[in-house]
Amino acid sequence: MDLKSLAQKLDRDLSISAQLKPFGRTDQLVLEVRAADLLKTAAWVRSEESARMDFLENFSCYEFRSKLVFSYFLRSQVHGKTLILRTEETVPENERLPIPSVAAVWPMVQPFEDEIHELFGIDFTPNRGRYAAATAFPLRKTYVWESEVMQ
């Protein structure tokens, strides 16, 4: 599966323009879409015959240069290939951020979403009954962990 042709097909089928970015110094590319297009893209790469990304290996989030970066590490059990789907959002200061949940596409994402919900203050929609009480988000860069002194 060629990621460039996959991105072109995504544009043709759903009119979603995805960007291809390098992942670290590996040969692998990242398929980056807007958060608003995330759910549609996820469902598409799950069902599209040339991709068939049916297994979510990992879902991670990190904050870098005032952006929250969400990475979905996917695997096709049919083709044996991997794909990284990514979306970015600007970090709202001390506020929760809504992001579409992909649990309907990959049910195994739920524990990852639960953790990111609590530690980054992300509200995955639709809400699965997660309780959003916290006002401080430990894994955001603005959070200061008093007991940990930088060496």
Cα→Cα distances 147→64, 127, 135, 144, 150, Å: 23, 33, 19, 9, 10
Q: Which is nearer to other proteins, 16 or 119 (CB)?
A: 119
Q: How far apart are CA 60 and CA 72, in angstroms?
A: 7
Q: Which is nearer to other proteins, 17 or 77 (CB)?
A: 77
Q: Which is nearer to other proteins, 126 or 138 (CB)?
A: 138
**Nearest distance from C-beta of residue 11 to other proteins, angstroms:** 26
**Nearest distance from C-beta of residue 14 to other proteins, angstroms:** 25
What does the binding site for other proteins look like in residue numbers (CB under 8 A)? 23-26, 55-58, 60-64, 71, 73, 77, 80, 84, 107-108, 111, 119, 138-139, 143, 145, 148-151
Q: How far apart are CA 127 and CA 123, in angstroms?
A: 7
Are the CB atoms for 4 and 28 separated by under 8 Å?
no
